[in-house]
């Protein structure tokens, strides 16, 4: 009976694992829905900002701002890596780390001072394992990064950039394009390359809008705002991608568990059947021996 | 009666999307009223009370910074924070004002931070008080 019982035990434990992976899949599906809704509402906000910029361009305002200017020499830079706090999400963290190490080496070769900030326990431990020490770490970003938290970080970056503490800010995160497509990217957020909005619009003489207090002052506000939105979008994208990655990984794990259970059931039944046959043979042999 | 379509969005969600007759909003230097047929404009918002006059009566919100865009019969507010004024408590707002006043202000940067905090807290107290009446 020993072998059959051992098989049964294994089957039970795999059933339990399957329950866990299935639940995790359902949870990340629900969280992902929420993350997706948030990403959509941010998109509507960014669209409106772009409309504003287009309005400014049409009114003939020259788009110039210290955050938009490329610095001639980049001596100090900052790299922000967005990873997850937890594992069990397939290649999500691995992809981000690979991209991060690549960008880190690339920047380290050209820049004198490189500052590294990492969000997510997995990213922190992964980079430390590769011998890269982060200067600042965040672990409070879960599946719903709030705007206030991101804004605090964004304000710090804006200040550091304007005072010249660094000349360039790069972010490594997982871009969320669609449910079936997410990929790790490294983007330069500061200086802002493209403000968005329709820059090709012809400045017409008769301005459509009246500006209060002035177009320049609006621009002064729009540019930092646009940076904050971009950074916030990075955090949201990373959160949504993490959920998708976990969803897929857990779905695969559940299917795998199903297969193993089916296989074990078959082996278990065979072992049981074999044992019964064995016992029957013994009984018959015993009866034969007695009757002789 | 002609109507305005008023939309208030924060980075996290769309707070209001409603048909209104009249909007009073806090610009950076004072209150601005917008009725149907207003000239197209873009303005900077300050902190304070946003009043919407709808069929059901007056709705009050607290908004903090951002922009307003008026275009035709559409008025869009892009703001950092927006919530119904009923959610503000005068006492907590007063406490926030006191803590804001006690912030250090010995460098220009800290001074600017303190000023911003004080302005926000003061606006919150005002909105809370008006809402109570």
Here the ipTM equals: 0.78
Same domain, B24 and B49: yes
Q: Does the distance separating the beta carbons of A44 and B11 come in below 8 Å?
A: no
Domain holding B125, by residue range, is 88-130
Same domain, B95 and B119: yes
> What is the model's pLDDT at position B1?
55
A230 pLDDT exceeds 70?
yes
Rounded Cα gap, residues B96 and B92, in angstroms: 6
* CATH label of the domain that carries residue A216: 3.40.1380.10
Q: Does the distance separating the beta carbons of A221 and B42 come in below 8 Å?
A: no
At B10, give phi and psi (nearest 5°). -110, 170
Same domain, A51 and A149: yes
A62 pLDDT exceeds 80?
no
> What is the model's pLDDT at position A123?
92
Percentage, residues of chain A above pLDDT 90: 49
Same domain, A42 and A183: yes
Closest residue in A to B42 (Cα) is A211
DSSP string, A63-90: ---TTTSPPSS--EEEEEEE--SS--ST
**pLDDT single digits (tens) A136-195:** 999 988 888 888 889 889 989 988 888 888 889 999 999 988 888 899 999 888 888 766
Q: Which of A188, A201, A203, A194 is nearest to A223 (CA)?
A: A194
Q: Does the distance separating the beta carbons of A212 and B42 come in below 8 Å?
A: yes
A202 pLDDT exceeds 60?
no
**With bands split at pLDDT 50, 70 and 90, how would you rate the model's confidence at A248?**
very high
CB A116 within 8 A of CB A81: yes
Please name the residue that has the structure tokens 């500052």: A115
Mutate to test the interface with A, among B9, B11, B13 (most CBs of A within 10 A): B11
A8 pLDDT exceeds 80?
yes
Same domain, A178 and A260: no
**pLDDT single digits (tens) B62-112:** 998 888 989 888 899 999 888 888 888 888 888 888 888 888 878 887 788
Task: Count the residues in chain A.
Answer: 292
Same domain, B70 and B99: no
A contacts of B14 (beta carbons < 8 Å)? 41, 44
Whether residue A213 has a cis bond before it, omega within 30° of 0: yes
Shortest alpha-carbon distance between residue B133 and chain A (Å): 30
CA angle A73, A74, A75 (to 5 degrees): 105
Domain holding A277, by residue range, is 2-21+248-291
Q: Which of B11, B29, B109 sits opposite A232 (nearest CB)?
A: B11
Largest Cα span, chain A: 120
- Tell how far CA A203 is from the center of its chain: 40
HSE toward the beta carbon, residue A262, CA cutoff 13 A: 6
**pLDDT single digits (tens) A90-104:** 899 999 999 999 999
Shortest alpha-carbon distance between residue A9 and chain B (Å): 49
Shortest alpha-carbon distance between residue A80 and chain B (Å): 21
Q: How many domains is chain B partitioned into structurally?
A: 2
The pTM assigned to this predicted structure is 0.85
Rounded Cα gap, residues A56 and B42, in angstroms: 9
Same domain, A130 and A55: yes
């Amino acid at each position: 009976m020993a072998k059959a019982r051992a098989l049964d035990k294994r089957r039970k434990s795999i059933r339990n694992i399957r329950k866990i992976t299935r639940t995790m899949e359902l949870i990340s599906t629900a969280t992902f829905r929420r993350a997706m809704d948030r990403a959509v509402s941010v998109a509507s906000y960014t669209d409106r900002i772009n409309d504003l910029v287009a309005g400014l361009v049409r009114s003939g305002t020259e788009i110039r701002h210290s955050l938009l200017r490329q610095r001639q020499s980049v001596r100090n830079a900052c790299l922000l890596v967005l990873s997850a706090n937890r594992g069990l999400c397939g290649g999500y963290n691995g992809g981000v780390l690979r991209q991060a190490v690549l960008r880190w080496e690339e920047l380290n070769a050209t820049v004198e001072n490189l500052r590294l900030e990492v969000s997510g326990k997995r990213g922190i431990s992964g980079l430390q394992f590769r011998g890269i020490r982060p200067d600042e770490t965040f672990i409070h970003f879960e599946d719903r990064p709030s705007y206030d938290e991101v804004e605090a970080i964004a304000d710090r970056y804006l200040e550091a950039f304007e005072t010249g503490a660094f000349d360039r800010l790069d972010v490594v995160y997982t871009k969320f394009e669609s449910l079936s497509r997410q990929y790790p990217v490294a983007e330069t957020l500061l200086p802002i390359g493209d403000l968005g909005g329709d820059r090709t619009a012809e400045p017409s003489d008769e301005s459509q809008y009246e500006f209060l207090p002035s177009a320049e002052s609006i621009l002064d506000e729009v540019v930092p705002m646009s940076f904050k939105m971009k950074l916030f979008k990075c955090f949201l994208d990373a959160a949504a991608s993490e959920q998708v990655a976990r969803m897929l990984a857990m779905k695969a794990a559940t299917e795998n568990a199903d297969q193993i259970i089916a296989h074990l059931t078959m082996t278990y039944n065979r072992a049981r059947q074999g044992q019964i046959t064995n016992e029957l043979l013994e009984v018959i042999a015993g009866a034969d021996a007695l009757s002789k | 009666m002609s109507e305005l379509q008023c939309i208030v969005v924060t980075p996290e969600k769309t707070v209001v999307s409603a048909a209104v007759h009249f909007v009073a909003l806090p610009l950076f230097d004072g209150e601005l009223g917008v009725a149907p047929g207003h000239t197209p404009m873009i303005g900077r918002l300050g902190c304070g009370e946003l009043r919407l006059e709808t069929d059901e009566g007056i709705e009050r919100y607290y908004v903090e910074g951002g922009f307003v865009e008026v275009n035709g019969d559409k008025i869009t507010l892009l703001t950092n924070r927006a919530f119904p004024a009923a959610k503000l408590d005068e006492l907590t707002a007063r406490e926030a004002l006191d803590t804001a006043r006690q912030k250090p202000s010995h460098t220009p940067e800290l001074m600017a931070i303190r000023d911003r905090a004080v302005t926000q807290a003061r606006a919150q107290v005002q909105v809370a008080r008006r809402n109570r009446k």
